Structure 1
Amino acid sequence: MKKILLLSFSACILLASEQNFVEFGATTKSSKDNFSTIGENSINSQKAKSESDTSPYLNFFYGYNLSDSTNIYASYNNELRVGSKMNTSFGNFNFGIKYSAYDAWEDPFLLGTNRVETDVRELGAYLEYGLSFSNIHQGKIKYEFSSADYDKENIVKELEREGYRHIIGFDNMWKLKFFERDINYMANVSYEMYDADGKASAYDRYDLILGFSTPVSENLTLSSFIDIGKKNYDKSNPIFNKKIDSTITGINANLRWDNILNYKSVYMNFKAGYLEEDANTDFYDKETTYGIISLGYKF
């Protein structure tokens, strides 16, 4: 599941009034990705085969107000976060620690022989600062850091993947009216630097995310986003004798249905998305289509 919610185009703005909720559901995913462990152990070609997977979905947020200006919380959406939101005379801050765990191949490049899975853990921290340029604008500047630890890697030194992840982002939302309809417009930019031990696995990634969210009826809200990005690896890959570069494109849509059967605390989310990485080497090409159906409860 790691990185399929990656088009996590969250419309939440720092220190917005966030209600406690829990969501359960199911995710179905079809992907072509040589690095994903949902596929076959053995591959015989550089071109990835299509694989499908269905898994449980969990998303929650629980916060507790220590005072009018301070909130502590725990949340989960593909990674666990525990942090605090503070409204101060210097501005609004959100900070905490984060943790995620997932599987990877000890050596994803093996052809014609069984590959072995290994566990990966990422532990890090994040800091966000909320700001507003006008009464129709909300935004945040964020920095995230994490360390990726692989239980075992059976790979050449230049391709070792343990390392440190740095993410810098600037998220923006404008609340406007269009033909008497309330529409929230989003424009986010982010830069990710993954400093791997093997510099052929280290990369820089740049993303621009554009989207909107608007009510389509009293209880239905539609959100949609596009992602345009670029990923550039630092050093030449010793297997393919070239530096790997890829272009990233994605689209995501979410339909939220509130007040199901007149229960104000119950809602459903229907999400669908597509994400592609088109690389200059077939082995690094990635393509993912996914759908999520979930039932939520606000409290």
Structure 2
Amino acid sequence: MSSHSLGRIAHISALLIASFPGYAATAKDWQPGLSGDIAVMAGYSHTRSQFDTDNNVTDSLDSQGQGRDSGIIFPLGTLKYTNQAGDKQVYMGSNQSDLIYGRFNLELGYKQRLQDNSVITIAYAPGLIASETWKDPFVTNVNREETDVNTKALRLIYDRILGTNFSFEFALREREIDNEESGLANFTPDEQALLRRDSDIYYSQLSYLHRINQDLALRGATSYTRTDADGDAMSNDRYGADITVIKNFERSNLAVTLHYDYSEYDKANPVFGKKQEDSLLAAYLAYRYAEPFGWKQWSFLGIAGYGYSDSKINFYENEGTVITAGLSYHF
């Protein structure tokens, strides 16, 4: 799951699946005591990206990399405790803040439900699980070496602001590359400084859920992300928009989302002599079917998605497809 676009597709879809209970049965989320859910998803992915760590050798910096097909498996899960009054909750589980970046992490959080039925969440992801990238992505015709990427995150969410259908999220992430060697083989120290990827990332999203009737809803969202990287050629502003249709059936739920975002970078990339600009268009689907085969507390889950990121620099173009299915258990 090292492709950036594939990570967004699979994990935003997983996030949609996780959101179904909040749309269909919010009261169950606040039953006093210990509860949780766990799911294992397995399936197929196709990626085409220079940052897919299966593509350890590239013969050109003017292409988006070779396509790769692979099987995938990933877990989702949350353990939570709710007080007897049903208005305070602590939890730990899959870090939904980092899921859109295609990585898994542990998140610890606290939720407070207010009298107007709004919910405030404060959460921290300590960055216990690292992902991988290249030490120097810009070397050709030799094996590129991998290094770990560690991300810590703090986020604040205000769901159903003042009892309305508006919600807001703000997140601060710190991303560190263990061995940053971008441009080391072929570029001057000043050019290498422009390529440094260690960064502070500020993310904000405003969303609105419109309930057409008891079983059908539309969710729209806009987002802004500022990445302040150590290298100015890696610093950027990203603007995003989502529209989601959520449909509840008697025993199942379906969510279909269209996503678009646009990124513009601060300074020209010295490797390519121009500024990077990216546009990502993606579509993803999430499906849940309750009590398959009559199994109480079990659900069948399905995810499918496709995304393509177009860039003014061919090296940064990528695409991903994912189809997965699995079972979840709620206790």
Fold match by TM threshold 0.5 = yes
Deviation at 1:111, TM superposition (A): 1.3
1:269 paired with 2:304, answer no
Give 1:290's aligned residue: 322
Q: Structure 1 residues 43-52 or 270-279, which shifts more? A: 43-52
Match in the other structure for 1:163: 199
Contact 1:57 1:294 in 2 (8 A): no
Higher helix share: 2
Point out the structure with the larger strand share.
Answer: 1
What's the CA shift for 1:16?
4.4
Could you say what secondary structure the match of 1:157 adopts? Answer: helix
2:89 matched to which residue of 1?
71
Conservation of the 8 A alpha-carbon contact between 1:27 and 1:57: no
Query: 1:140 corresponds to which residue?
Result: 167
Structure 1 Cα separation of the partners of residues 155 and 161 of structure 2: 20
**One-letter code aligned to 1:278:** D
User: Which of 248, 257, 266 is the equivalent residue of 1:225?
Assistant: 257
Write out per-residue CA displacement over residues 75-118 of structure 1, whole angstroms, 9 at most, x where no aligned residue.
21533211000124695310110135200000111111110000
The 1-side partners of 2:37 and 2:159 are apart by: 22
| Structure 2 residue runs without a partner (length 5+) | 30-34, 96-103, 183-191
**1:294 CA displacement:** 1.4
Picking from 45, 49, 53, the partner of 1:29 is 45
CA contact (8 A) 1:71 1:84 kept: yes
Structure 1 segment 108-119 matched on structure 2, within 5 A = 108-119=137-148
Aligned match of 1:97: 124
User: 1:231–1:127: structure 2 CA closer, same or farther, 3 Å change rule?
Assistant: same
- The residue aligned with 2:230 is 197
Contact 1:191/1:207, CA 8 A, preserved across alignment: yes
Distance 1:88 1:214, change over 3 A: closer
Q: Which amino acid aligns with 1:118?
A: T
**One-letter amino acid of the counterpart of residue 235, structure 1:** K
Q: Distance in 2 between matches of 1:140 and 1:214?
A: 20
Return the letter of the residue paired with 2:88: T
Q: CA deviation at 1:28?
A: 2.2
Matched with 2:210 is 174
**Partner in structure 2 of residue 210 of structure 1:** 243
CA RMSD between the two structures: 2.2
CA distance, structure 1, for counterparts of residue 325 and residue 119 of structure 2? 33
Equivalent residue number for residue 81 of structure 1: 107
CA spacing shift, 1:132–1:125, aligned 2, 3 Å: closer
What residue number does 2:221 align with? 188
Structure 1's unaligned 5+ residue stretches are: none
User: Which region of structure 1 is more displaced relative to structure 2, 181-190 or 115-124?
Assistant: 181-190
Change (3 A) 1:82 1:243: same
Check the 8 A contact 1:145/1:167 in 2, yes or no: yes
Aligned equivalents of 1:67, 1:150: Cα separation in 2: 43
SS in 1 for 2:296: coil
Secondary structure of 1:6 counterpart: helix
Is 1:193–1:203's contact at 8 Å kept on the other side of the alignment?
Answer: yes
Q: How many residues align?
A: 292
Q: What amino acid sits opposite 1:51 in the alignment?
A: R
Q: Deviations over 1:241-280 (max 9, x none)?
A: 0001011100001221111111231111111001111001
How much has 1:222 moved relative to structure 2? 1.6
Between 1:272-281 and 1:44-53, the stretch displaced more is: 44-53
1:54 aligns with 2:80: no
Q: Which moved more, 1:48-57 or 1:234-243?
A: 48-57
Helix, strand or coil: the match of 1:20?
A: strand
Greater RCO, CA 8 A, separation 6+: 2
